[in-house]
Structure 1
Amino acid sequence: MHSPNNAFSSIRRRWLTLLGLAPLTQACSPLRLINATVPSHTHTQVRDLPYGSAERQRADVYRPVQTATGAPIAVFFYGGSWSSGSRTDYRFVGEALASRGIVTVVADYRLSPDVRYPVFLEDCARAVRWAGTQANAFGASRDRLFIVGHSAGAYNAAMLALDPRWLGRDPVAGWAGLAGPYDFLPIGIPEVQTAFNWPGTPADSQPLHHAMALAAPKRRALLLAARHDTLVNPQRNTVALAKALRDHGTQVDSALLDRVSHTTLIGALAPPLRGLAPVLDRLSSFLLAPTS
């Protein structure tokens, strides 16, 4: 739910120190610095593909260098309190997964205050359906389609996976949420209040509401969070959602990770920070596992 440029300042300080780049100008954005570490030999990238007609209905696709037919395909949604963010900031995510053999779609979606709930979910659902139709052309399998998100993007992924209004029971192999807010009523953050029309926010806007419903699709899930996340409470959100899903028969792999925060959890996908926590190993193993 965070604002990414502010939240990644700790990442910038850490890896600048490690790499001896502290003298770089402070005007450089943290995410630009993170992306500067991304190698180019691990993937190929196709930019600015439309999945709809709106300006922000665009996606970038990252493909493994060694493309094999039938690879998994993951659609990634970033955080930013549903009011900020850009797919170009998350090249490090696309590279990380593509380097492990996973075709990765990093998608923009329309943001508040230009739109309100549920329009951003409608965009995300459209992006996932589009990725499914393009899977074969990208060297991936439609039957191995996953949804992945961080923070507000993890909320988007959870809602698409759990609420049949968005994707119905279309074949989605599973979904992964990193540091997601899944139960956040009442809303106290001003930009989130705007995005969700608070106080008129319906109870069924919450992923936990759907996880507790017998009608929720039983798509397997991976839920990761920082043990000491101070922005999105991991007990109320990740732990509670994992329990609800298991109680209703969904296969869930979940963990609270040490040595990372709300923001460095996703930052750990970038080359300089992968030693902080096994986020890439956990996520790629989940996406590469055989589907039933």
Structure 2
Amino acid sequence: MKAAIVLLALVLVAGAGLWLAVRNNGPAVLDALDRVTGGARGVELVAKARYGTHPAQKLRIYRPGGHDDSQPLPVLLFVHGGSWSWGDPDDYNFIARAFAPAGFVVVLAGYRLGEDGRYPAMLEDTAAAIVETARLAPQFGGDSARIVLAGHSAGAYDVVQVALEERWLAASGLQPAGVIGLSGPYDFYPFDKPSSEAAFGSVGAGAESQPINHARADAPPMLLIHGEDDALVKPRNSRALAAALDDAGAPVETKFYPGFDHNAPLISLASPWRRSRDVDNAMIAFARRVTTVSVPVQQATD
């Protein structure tokens, strides 16, 4: 009996410790769990790069181990969330382990946060990260013409806004092959939450800061993923943006997951959950579809 009580106490202590760790830095805990339960999956970190002088302006580039560079791979660039106030690409290596084995060069991008990252700085950084990724990709077996953008929460806002509001990538001439948003805020003006007020309200941003107001027919294909039980960023954000894109004639797909809260789509990309949920499969299928290179059909000759 005493042994059972001691075992239960140890489980409770371990559970409490895990809960505190997740609360303090959830992505880092996810990364550790993924590494322990899923292994390296043959993924290589091939470069640590910068696209600016600020410490947060960094890129981490991964690819499948043993890849033959003569066959360029599509690129998936992921931007982390954190209410535009916290987060670090170095805690999101599980994203690389989820997608590199499926045949992608994976780039994890950081951006300025908090005071330094107030609107439009986070968008300036996201655009700059995309441009630098396109420049570097060929050095590591990636195809600069086939870049898919993805992000969670605040990061979903960043990639979707940069893809829709044409001024951010106009000078570079780059057009993402596709965009994936996880639990993203796309229609949250006027600002009524501390996080959005801190990042947007103090700099006079208005309706132009909202992705929903930049829906256009020639937008890149988008996949919007949201949990039905997301109380932090309501799923109506994805529904509203999808409707606006559809009305404009742009290609858009949605996946809404019953029982998923704000972080569940992100957690689903890490082992051991990756094996039992289909978020990664949906993202991989979409990314492959929008980056497939069409091979011209040769006309038969006599």
Normalised to the residue count of structure 1, the TM-score between the two structures is 0.86
Query: Amino acid of the residue matched to residue 231 of structure 2?
Result: T
The answer (yes or no) to whether the contact 2:44–2:63 under 8 Å persists in 1 is yes
The residue number in structure 2 matching 1:195 is 199
1:38-60 CA-to-partner distances (Å, cap 9, x unmatched) read 22242001353112222211111
Q: How far apart, CA to CA, are the structure 2 residues paired with 1:185 and 1:276?
A: 36
1:88-127 aligned within 5 A: 88-127=90-129
The residue number in structure 2 matching 1:31 is 27
Secondary structure class of the residue paired with 1:81: coil
Q: How far apart, CA to CA, are the structure 2 residues paired with 1:44 and 1:21?
A: 36
1:212-223 aligned within 5 A: 213=216, 217-223=218-224
1:1-292 aligned within 5 A: 23=14, 25-26=17-18, 28=21, 29-36=25-32, 37-38=34-35, 39-46=39-46, 48-68=48-68, 69-168=71-170, 169-198=173-202, 200-211=204-215, 213=216, 217-235=218-236, 237-275=237-275, 277-289=277-289, 290=292
Secondary structure class of the residue paired with 2:189: coil
1:238-285 CA-to-partner distances (Å, cap 9, x unmatched) read 111111112212111211012421101111000111245311000111
Aligned residues: 270
Q: How far apart, CA to CA, are the structure 1 residues paired with 2:281 and 2:223?
A: 12
Secondary structure class of the residue paired with 1:132: helix
Q: How far apart, CA to CA, are the structure 2 residues paired with 1:33 and 1:122?
A: 29
Secondary structure class of the residue paired with 2:49: strand
The answer (yes or no) to whether the contact 1:259–1:276 under 8 Å persists in 2 is no
Q: How far apart, CA to CA, are the structure 2 residues paired with 1:51 and 1:102?
A: 21
Query: Amino acid of the residue matched to residue 23 of structure 1?
Result: A
Query: Amino acid of the residue matched to residue 282 of structure 1?
Result: A
Give the drift of 1:31: 3.0
The answer (yes or no) to whether the contact 1:193–1:199 under 8 Å persists in 2 is no
The answer (yes or no) to whether the contact 1:102–1:288 under 8 Å persists in 2 is no
Secondary structure class of the residue paired with 1:193: helix
Give the drift of 1:133: 0.9
Query: Amino acid of the residue matched to residue 200 of structure 1?
Result: G
The residue number in structure 2 matching 1:11 is none
Secondary structure class of the residue paired with 2:234: coil
Secondary structure class of the residue paired with 2:14: coil
Give the drift of 1:23: 2.7
1:137-188 CA-to-partner distances (Å, cap 9, x unmatched) read 1211111111111100000011111001101252321111111000001212
Please tell me whether Structure 1 or Structure 2 has the larger radius of gyration of its CA atoms: 2
The answer (yes or no) to whether the contact 2:76–2:149 under 8 Å persists in 1 is yes
Q: How far apart, CA to CA, are the structure 2 residues paired with 1:66 and 1:199?
A: 47
Q: How far apart, CA to CA, are the structure 1 residues paired with 2:88 and 2:28?
A: 12
Higher helix share: 2
Give me the CA root mean square deviation.
2.2
Secondary structure class of the residue paired with 1:285: helix
Give identity over the alignment, percent.
36
Give the drift of 1:197: 2.8
From the superposition, tell whether residues 136 and 242 of structure 1 become closer, same or farther in structure 2 (CA, over 3 Å).
same
Larger relative contact order (Cα-Cα within 8 Å, sequence gap ≥ 6): 1
Query: Amino acid of the residue matched to residue 119 of structure 1?
Result: A
Q: How far apart, CA to CA, are the structure 2 residues paired with 1:291 and 1:188?
A: 44
Give the drift of 1:21: 10
Give the drift of 1:22: 6.6
